[in-house]
Amino acid sequence: MKRTLLLVAVLSASQAALAAGSADKGKTAFAKHGCWQCHGFAGQGGVAGPKLAPDPMPLEAMSAFVRNTRGGMPPYQKAILSDADLADIHAYLQSLPKARDYKSIPLLNP
């Protein structure tokens, strides 16, 4: 019972920290921690990493993935990326506008 309560408390605290993201700070953190290297400055993705924005995955899922990834992306443990920074990064990704429909871009319809 005590363990359950503790887990709830930890999750709540974690979610509270994750929920307090700032898009402005997140833009800085996105650059500072090298996320842009594979995903691009706008999270658009490319050959080295998938698109992150717009419509990023939920913060909890993103956190779980970033901490424990077994895929192509190297993990970011808390020692190098805090929960607060991660939440800010998520907020930044959420703030990015949707892409235009490619059909509305003449250069993509030559």
Binding site for another protein (CB under 8 A): 31, 34, 36-38, 40-48, 51, 69-77, 79-80, 99-102, 105, 107-110
- Inter-residue contact 18 to 90 (CB < 8 Å): yes
Nearer to another protein, 3 or 106 (CB): 106
Nearer to another protein, 1 or 74 (CB): 74
Q: Which residues contact 8 (CB under 8 A, 6 or more apart)?
A: none
Cβ at position 79, least distance to another protein in Å: 5
Q: Which residue type does 62 have? A: M
Cβ at position 54, least distance to another protein in Å: 8
Cβ at position 107, least distance to another protein in Å: 4
Nearer to another protein, 2 or 74 (CB): 74
DSSP of 72-101:
SSPP--TTTS-HHHHHHHHHHHHHSPPPPP
Selection from 28, 48, 26 nearest residue 39 by Cα: 48
